[in-house]
């Protein structure tokens, strides 16, 4: 029995540590038998630590595992779709975008969350638009994951997020403003005018997120914050004033 065969057998061990070591060792080998064995184990593995090591190992065998990983994305089993998307998120191949995109709208939140990262990591210019379709959806965890995925795209996400500030759904508008704030300056600086307009949104939550986002931009938002601070909405004026005061203190400290 070869060393690789022994490692493959160890993937079925009841000892999680042994499975982890076997996965890592198989990731380091160039043996053609490694990828199928790692895929087989990934499909049934329940220990999250072992799954991460299997994921790393499969990334090392990305070419051999690619077809099977893409096939997992269309599995009727949510766990299979999630696992496939997770591994592909680590590979970050632009060619995988079309296969990953449908999972952004997956009915299972944990699958969609993995797809957010995977789609963003393809780096495709269409990624922001695909992700923007889920703005405002899900619980706080899911929304935070989408915001993080948008952040990975950087300035590529700004046009889609800016457009979403005009969505009829207040939840979408609020999430878009929040995501722009998370991007911050200089990436989100081009959204300064749209965010200032959103500070007049009839929904208080949207307006607050917009002002907060302006506070995360660079000095290009100074004028917008000053106008809001002098405006008639006491709450928004207070928030804008705090950002301006913090900037003033920071400037003094640097002087």
| Overall average pLDDT of the 197-216 stretch | 98
Tens digits of per-residue pLDDT, 91-112?
Answer: 999 999 999 999 999 999 999 9
Residue 15 lies in a domain: no
| Overall average pLDDT of the 147-166 stretch | 97
Residue 222 lies in a domain: yes
Instruction: Compute the mean pLDDT over every residue in the chain, rounded to the nearest whole number.
Output: 96
Counting the structural domains of the chain, the total is 1
Tens digits of per-residue pLDDT, 65-85?
Answer: 999 999 999 999 999 999 999
The answer to whether the beta carbons of residues 33 and 4 sit under 8 Å apart is yes
Residue 181 lies in a domain: yes
Q: Can you give the pLDDT at residue 1? A: 47
Res 2 pLDDT > 80: no
This prediction's pTM:
0.90
Residue 230 lies in a domain: yes
Residue 103 lies in a domain: no
Q: Can you give the pLDDT at residue 245? A: 94
Res 205 pLDDT > 50: yes
Res 32 pLDDT > 90: no
Of 238, 194, 255, 191, residue with least CA distance to 218:
191
Residue 182 lies in a domain: yes
Q: Can you give the pLDDT at residue 251? A: 78
DSSP state of 2: -
Q: Can you give the pLDDT at residue 250? A: 81
| Overall average pLDDT of the 160-176 stretch | 98
The answer to whether the beta carbons of residues 244 and 222 sit under 8 Å apart is yes
Listed in sequence order, the residues at least 6 apart from 128 whose beta carbon sits closer than 8 Å to its beta carbon are 150, 153, 156, 157, 159, 160, 161
pLDDT above 70 coverage of the chain, percent? 99
Q: Can you give the pLDDT at residue 199? A: 98
Residue 109 lies in a domain: no
CATH of residue 185's domain is 1.25.10.10
Containing domain of residue 253, as a range? Answer: 156-255
Residue 94 lies in a domain: no
């Amino acid at each position: 029995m070869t060393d690789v065969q022994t490692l493959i057998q160890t993937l079925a061990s009841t000892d999680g540590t042994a499975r982890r070591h076997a996965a890592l060792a198989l990731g380091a080998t160039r043996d053609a038998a490694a990828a199928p064995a790692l895929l087989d184990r990934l499909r049934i593995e329940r220990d999250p630590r072992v799954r991460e090591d299997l994921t790393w190992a499969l990334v090392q065998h990305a070419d051999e595992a690619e077809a099977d990983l893409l096939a997992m994305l269309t599995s009727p089993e949510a766990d299979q779709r999630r696992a496939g998307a997770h591994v592909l998120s680590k590979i970050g191949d632009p060619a995988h975008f079309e296969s990953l995109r449908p999972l952004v709208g997956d009915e299972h939140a944990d699958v969609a969350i993995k797809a957010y990262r995977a789609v963003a990591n393809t780096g495709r210019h269409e990624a922001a638009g695909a992700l923007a379709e889920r703005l405002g959806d899900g619980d706080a965890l899911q929304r935070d994951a989408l915001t993080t995925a948008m952040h990975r795209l950087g300035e590529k996400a700004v046009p889609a997020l800016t457009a979403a500030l005009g969505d009829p759904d207040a939840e979408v508008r609020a999430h878009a403003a929040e995501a722009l704030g998370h991007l911050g300056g200089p990436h989100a600086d081009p959204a300064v005018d749209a965010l200032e307009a959103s500070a007049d949104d009839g929904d208080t939550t949207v307006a607050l997120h917009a002002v907060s986002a302006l506070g995360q931009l660079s000095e290009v938002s100074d004028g917008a914050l000053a106008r809001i601070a002098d405006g008639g909405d006491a709450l928004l004026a207070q928030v804008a004033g705090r950002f301006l005061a913090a900037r003033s203190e920071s400037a003094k400290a640097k002087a």
